[in-house]
Amino acid sequence: MSRTFRVGTSWKMNKTIAETEAYLRELVAVALPPEVEVFVVPPFTALDAARRMIAGAPIRLGAQNMHWAEAGAHTGEISAPMLVECGVEIVELGHSERRADQGETDETVNAKVRAALAHGLRPLVCVGDRAEELAAGASTETVLRQVKMAFAGCDPATLAGAMVAYEPVWAIGEAGRVAEPEHVAAVHAGLRAGLASVGLADLPLLYGGSVDADNAAGLAAITDVDGVFVGRAAWTAAGLREVMTAAVAGWRGRIAA
Q: Give min distance, CB of 43 to ligand PGA, in A.
A: 14
- The answer to whether residue 239 forms part of the interface with ligand PGA (CB under 6 A) is no
User: Among residues 135, 141, 121, 14, which one has the least CA distance to residue 62?
Assistant: 121
Q: Give min distance, CB of 120 to ligand PGA, in A.
A: 24
- Alpha-carbon span 99 to 91, nearest angstrom: 15
Is 167 an active-site residue? yes
Is 74 an active-site residue? no
- The answer to whether residue 229 forms part of the interface with ligand PGA (CB under 6 A) is yes
CB closer to ligand PGA, 119 vs 245: 245
CB closer to ligand PGA, 231 vs 250: 231
Contacts (CB under 6 A) with ligand PGA, residues 123-182? 167, 172-173, 176
- Alpha-carbon span 219 to 227, nearest angstrom: 9
CB-CB contact of 90 with 61 (8 Å): yes
Q: Give min distance, CB of 15 to ligand PGA, in A.
A: 14
- Alpha-carbon span 161 to 130, nearest angstrom: 27
- Alpha-carbon span 158 to 119, nearest angstrom: 11
Residue 252's Cβ-count burial label (10 Å; 0-12, 13-18, 19+) is middle
Number of residues engaging ligand PGA in binding (CB under 6 A): 14
- The answer to whether residue 65 forms part of the interface with ligand PGA (CB under 6 A) is no
- The answer to whether residue 210 forms part of the interface with ligand PGA (CB under 6 A) is yes
- DSSP, res 152: T
Which residue of the set 95, 97, 104, 188 is catalytic? 95
- The answer to whether residue 205 forms part of the interface with ligand PGA (CB under 6 A) is no
Q: Give min distance, CB of 87 to ligand PGA, in A.
A: 22
- The answer to whether residue 218 forms part of the interface with ligand PGA (CB under 6 A) is no
CB closer to ligand PGA, 44 vs 119: 44
> Of the candidates 6, 7, 10, 243, which one interacts with ligand PGA according to CB under 6 A?
10
Q: Give min distance, CB of 230 to ligand PGA, in A.
A: 5
Q: Give min distance, CB of 22 to ligand PGA, in A.
A: 20
The phi and psi torsions of 246 (rounded to 5 degrees) equal: -65, -45
- The answer to whether residue 15 forms part of the interface with ligand PGA (CB under 6 A) is no
Which residue of the set 37, 92, 133, 167 is catalytic? 167
Q: Label residues 77-104 b or e (16+ Cβ within 10 Å = b).
A: ebbbebbbebebbbbbbbbbbbbeeeeb
- Amino acid at the residue 2: S
The phi and psi torsions of 161 (rounded to 5 degrees) equal: -100, 0
CA angle 206, 117, 207 (to 5 degrees): 5
Contacts with ligand PGA, residue ranges (CB under 6 A): 10, 167, 172-173, 176, 208-211, 229-233
Catalytic residue positions, numbered: 95, 167
